[in-house]
Structure formats: structure tokens, C-alpha cells
Amino acid sequence: MKTNNIKGTGEAINRVDGRLKVTGQATYAGEFSVKNKVYAQGVNSTIAKGKITSIDVTEALAQPGVIEVITYQNALKLKGHEKDLPAIDNTTPMAVLQSPDVHYYGEYVALVVAETIEQAQYACRLVKIEYAKEEALTDFAAAKSTAIKPAAPEDYFRGDVEKGLAEADETLEVTYVTPIEHHHPMELHTAIATWMGDEVEIYASQQMIDNSVKTIANTFDIPEKNIRVISPFIGGGFGSKLQTHRHVTLAVMAAKMTGRPVHVTVTRTQMFTNTTMRQRNEQKMRLGATKDGKLTALAHETLSHTSTYEQYQEPCGTVSKMLYATPNNEVKHRLMPLNLQTPFAMRAPGEAPGSFALESAMDEMAWKLGMDPIEFRIKNDTQTDPSNGKPFSSRLLNECLRIGADKMGWENRPKTPRSRREGSWLVGYGVSAASRASPYQESAAKVILRAKGGEVHATVQTDATDIGTGTYSILAQTAAEYLQIPIERITVELGDSRFPVTPGSGGSWGAASFSMGVKVACDNVLKELKEKVGMSEDAQANVAQLLLDNNLATFEATGTATPDEGRAGYSVFSFGANFTEVWVNEHTGMFRIKRMVNVSSAGKILNPKTAYGQILGGLTMGAGMVIAEQTKVEPNFGNFITRSFADYHVPVNLDMANVEVIFLPEEDKIANAMGIKGVGELGITGVASAIANAIFNATGKRFRDLPITPEKMVMAEVEAGVV
């Protein structure tokens, strides 16, 4: 029955939405034409802490085209937080303009609504706000005494770390620092809100449609059924579009207050202050190991910051609970409330900075022990998750390390630091392990079959989103495979809250959850069609043929995939290994990543082409962590001194290496029936340490504070013990 042009899962097809994108026909949230639309622009606070004492909107309101200026004095009353410093999630209410209090520099303090965006932007500068400034706390070092135990995660203890350290032949105690980083998807955050009676329709760039509906319902205290959120195409998210940020609240509020559809776009500078960030982390690592390379103790203590009004703790230490076998393990997180915005999940929250600390510490310990860092990792491998005693559904980390080593020519690496030169360049190799949980969540879809001129076409609908990841393609492939209908006859429709509910894009669960939802809907449509035509459930049949044979014009079914109970007995993770060759110029301190080899064990790969794109993006973002990405806090004013792409440097093409990505052939049927695991966040995990470890190997300089800038390179000393 399988024809050549089905193009099912596992095939490296081009994106099915590629033509729409390159021809400008893919409509992003801010591009929808809405009749009678007006524009609004947020005004940001210019103090880090204090109270608004006066607001003068006279001049702003008098400008041509200006319709309304909204401040806390006239804003709609919204539901605020019920307690101090609540732990936030993807549906936490996003109240805004509710009080004169200012919590951080750049917080929204007003919104100007005008006929054109230029009029709104100009009038923003004419809103005169005076403040009673209070002393703000934005200095990480000065705030350490304020650290609290976060609501989550709990402190974790296994065995006795002190005892394990005492028994060790070698110990290590080092602290790694990662700076504030920003997601900065290419597409700016945006929302267009239109009220129609009691119902509101919102075009918004959001990763999670259903959570977006819930947030708006929570914020405005209105029924979810009155809210429609539409987000068919999204130009990158990286976690910044998980939550429904306050610009969406502002659009919905302003549309209500003015009676006109309102379009709010967050500017690139506002993307630093109003659409969340990854906070700075200080991670203290303590390791103990025997001479022959067995870990006797591993302690991972993270110090992060949150805002003064909400709490978010990045679980940096999670990786240290599960990656290596050690009898003695301790993982703690502490949180300082600062006058900065609330941070939230950014690509591989926990793992991205956490693996930098763990995998750098592993490299340091291997160097101390005089062991090959790969052998050191393999020696401490475990097929059982030490944090919960459950077996891993599959764990091919050793295979990833060995295959990568082979591809990389690891045997020919410089065995001692600072021992290989190419002209002015010092050459080094680095390795790291990667792991990332592969969650799988309940997810629904609808399949509609239509007969058309002797052919059967299928439309798949779910509220899942494609944030550039390839969701359209893999769902078309899934439907083609399970319906046995060629992919050209499959249409996928995403990102509308009127479609069946999925968990949305985030946490690397998208591919597994959405695909399983579509598979179940495809299975159901065949099952229900057989029932309808009186065919036995076991009979062999092709859904398209069945529709045609019975002269049905259309038939549809929905399906919901849920994790089965068998999965609960296992720990389900994707694994990988990163290898880099880095050349450091000894005169300039600049470095080039010459090669990167990534080996990933991520279950069934639905589309090797889009999965490669995912890993490549992760590797690039991981390289960004090392090369230059950092948001700096101004010491006297408490604002971000990095406020555009001219200051916040992401990697350019020339920075990136010759990249090779290898997916191990694998289908993890414990994870789910299709054997899919997560791939999106695995790609960034461990990358920073693989590069930093290579820089150590090249230069003998150990950098524990990212990014590794030319400034740090020129000031750093070669480590003691390196020739």
C-alpha cells in the first residue's frame, strides 16, 4: 500500500511551509490586516525602583492622531498576584499598569494609542512622568545576603557529599558564572487585539496557544471561551513566547478601552526589558573522585536572581542529579529578588547553564586525574537514573561519546594543554556530554478527509505551533504516513485556539506530543470510518479508498494522545555528545571554532533536515554563550546597558564552524508509540563547555565566567600545572 510519494516520518523532506515563507505568504501575527486597527506603544520606566509621583499626558494627548494614553490612573482594573513573590508558570496572570510602583528599569508605565505607529512612538516621548526614586538592588554581589530558598526545586540530597569528598583522591571546588542572556527571536513580540462584544480575538506571537488563552482569561477574569488566540507562524521563540507577556495584556486592555482593534509591537530594545530573559547564574561545583576515576561526590549549588514581585528559579542543578553515577549527591538552588524583570525559561532552562558548570567541572577533574575526559565520563555512566532509581528508557550516551570521538579524530587531539600551534594559533579539542529530559504530554488533533476529483485530501488541525522548528512538516509527514495519503494532499493548520488542544511548543515535548496526537487522530478517522461503513475493525483498509468507495464527500475524527502508564516506570531523556576544535589567536585573544561534531541520541528522527536545523540552532546558541552573548546591568542606574543588537552580540556566520550532526538510529518505544524523543533543547546542552574545554586545551587558560571575550583572554593567566 505504501507509495513512493507518501513522504512519511523519517524522510528528510524540505519544509512544507518553506515556499510560503520565502515568498512572504506565511502570515505572522503582526502582519494580519485588521480593519480599523490602531497602534499602541509602551512607555518604559526610567528608574529601577520607586513610585510614580506625577504623570502629565496633556502634551502627548494633544498630538495629532493620539487616541488615548493609558497609565495606572485610568487603566482597567486587572487581577493581580494573590501573594508576594509567587512562583510563575505559563498561565500566571500578567497584570500591568495597576499601581504607581516601579519594580525595575524598563517596566511599562504607560501606553500610547494612536492612529499610526509613528504617532504613538513620538507621543510616548511626550508623556511626562516624575518619580520618587528609591534605592534599587541590582548588584548581584551586593545582594547575596538576600538569597531565599525558592518555591521549587526542592533541595536534593543523596548519600553524604562531605563523606564522599573526604574519601576522594582528588577534589575540585570551583564556581562557574553565566551572565544574563536574552532570547531575541528574530520576530519581535507582537499582538493585535479586537473585541467583538464580550469576545476578544488576538493575533499574537505565542508558543502555547491554550496557555495564552488561560493567561488572558486569568488576567481579565473572563471566560476562556470568549478568547480566541491565533498564531499560525512564529519567527522564533526560544522560551520568550511561552508566557503571554504584558504587551498582550496591553493590547487587549487598550482595545477594550478605545473600542478599536489595537496593535502593540515590542521594540528590539523593549525585548530586553519586557519579554523575559535568562538570569545570571553562579554555580558552585564540588566534585570528588578516586584515582581510577570514580566520582565519590558531586554537589551543585546555584545562585540566581528573580524580580521583586515574582519568582522563577532556573533548575540549573537538575542535570547533576541524573547524568552520572555517584553515591553522594547534593543539589541546591537559591534565589535573590532583585530590581530586574522576572526571568523565565530560555532554551534548555536548567541544562544550558547547568551543563556548562557540570561538563566543565568534569573536564577539570579529568585533567586533575590525568584521564581522557571521555573515559572519565564513561567510567561514571549509569543506565539507571540515580535521582529516582528508574531505568532510563534508553541511554546511548557512551555510544554518542565513542562515535563522536571517532568522527572527531579524538585520538589525535593535543593530549596536554597549550601544546599545539598553527602559526599564531593555539589549537585545542573539547568534549562534553549532553542530556535533556524528553517530556511527552497530552495532545489532541483533528483530521478532516475530503474527496476531490477522485483523490482524497486531508486537513490536520491542532493548536500546536511552529516556532521555526518544522512542526508543519513533521505533522504533514505523520498524517501522510498514518493515513497513507501522499504528503501533497495533506494540509496542516496550526496555531488557533479553535483547534484541538496541545501543550504548545516548549520543553522539547512538541514533536513527540503533537505527532502522537496526529497519529491518534489518523488512527481514529480510519477506525470510525470503518464503523460508519460497517467494516470490522480488524479488516485491512485504506482510509482514502474507503472514503471513495463509499461515496463520502468528507469525514472527520479527532484524537487525543496521552502518555501511557508504562512510561511512568522509566526516566526518559535524550542524550548527546559535543566535540569542538577551537583555534585561539594568541595575539588578539579572538578564537575560531573550526569544527563541531554533535552526536545525538534523540529517538526516532521525524525529519532529519528540520532536526538538523534544530541541533544547528542549538549549537549556534551554545556558541553564542561562549563567544559574546551577555546583557550587562549598568552599575549606577540598574538598567541594561546592552540595548540593541549592536551591543548584544550573537554569533555571525564567520564565528561558526564546520558542523557535523549525527543522529544515532533509535526508536524509543517506551517514550511513546512512535519512538520520538525531544531534540530542540538537546542541541544547546553542553555546547558551551565543549568550547570552553577546547579553549583550555588550546591555551591552558580555564575560563569559568562566560562569555570568553578577548578582554578576558588577554587578562587571564595560564593555569598552574600547565607547561
Residue numbers of the site for other proteins (CB under 8 A)? 46, 118, 121-122, 125, 424, 587-590, 592, 627-628, 632, 634-637, 639, 641-644, 646-647, 649, 651-652, 654-655, 707, 709-711, 714-715
Beta carbon nearer to other proteins, 574 or 630: 630
Distance CA 7, CA 476 (A): 9
2 SS3 class: coil
In terms of CB distance, is 368 or 592 closer to other proteins? 592
For other proteins, give the closer residue by CB, 550 or 585.
Answer: 585
Please, are residues 186 and 714 in contact by the beta-carbon 8 Å criterion?
no
DSSP 384: B
CB of 306 to other proteins, least distance (A): 23
- Residue pair 629/645 in contact by the 8 Å Cβ criterion: no
> Which candidate in 68, 282, 666, 681 is catalytic?
681
Q: How far is the CB of 586 from other proteins (least distance, A)?
A: 9
- Of residues 121 and 419, the one with the C-beta less far from other proteins: 121
Amino acid (one-letter) located at 396:
L
CB 49 within 8 A of CB 133: yes
Angle at 701 between CA 362 and CA 278, to 5 degrees: 65
Task: Please name the residue that has the C-alpha cell 564556581.
Answer: 175
Give the integer Cα–Cα distance in Å for 343 and 154: 19
Rounded-to-integer distance, Cα 249 and Cα 255, Å? 10
Residue closer to other proteins (CB basis): 53 or 74: 53
Q: Rounded distance, CA 31 to CA 192, Å?
A: 9
C-alpha cell at 617: 540552532
Q: Which ranges of 292-331 would DSSP assign to H, the alpha helix?
A: 318-322
What is the Cα–Cα distance from 179 to 27, expressed in whole angstroms?
A: 35
Look up residue 273 and give its three cell numbers: 526589558
Name the residue nearer to other proteins (CB basis): 196 or 641.
Answer: 641
Closest separation between CB of residue 475 and other proteins, Å? Answer: 36
The closest of 313, 245, 296, 274 to 86, measured between CA atoms, is: 313
| CB closer to other proteins out of 123 and 479 | 123
In the complex, least distance from residue 604 CB atom to other proteins, rounded to whole angstroms: 36
Cell of 8: 512519511
Tell me, yes or no, if 314 is annotated catalytic: no
CB of residue 560 to other proteins, shortest distance in Å: 46
Minimal distance, residue 127 CB to other proteins, in Å = 13
Q: How far is the CB of 303 from other proteins (least distance, A)?
A: 22
Q: In what order do the strands lie in the sheet with 281-289?
A: 156-158, 329-337, 295-306, 281-289, 170-178
CB of 582 to other proteins, least distance (A): 13
CB-wise, 64 or 370, nearer to other proteins?
64
Q: Which is nearer to other proteins, 130 or 488 (CB)?
A: 130
| Distance of closest approach, residue 711 Cβ to other proteins, in angstroms | 4
Q: 222: which residues sit within 8 A by CB, 6+ positions away? A: 198, 200, 216
CA-CA-CA-CA dihedral for 612, 618, 619, 622, to nearest 10: 180
Taking the C-alpha atoms of residue 591 and residue 427, their distance in angstroms, rounded to an integer, is 10
User: 568: left (phi > 0), else alpha (psi -120 to 50), else beta?
Assistant: alpha
Give the three-state DSSP class for 621: helix
Contacts of 434 (CB under 8 A, 6+ apart): 351, 355, 400, 575, 576, 577, 578, 600, 682, 685, 686, 687
Omega before 153 cis (within 30°)? Answer: yes
Residues identified as active-site: 681
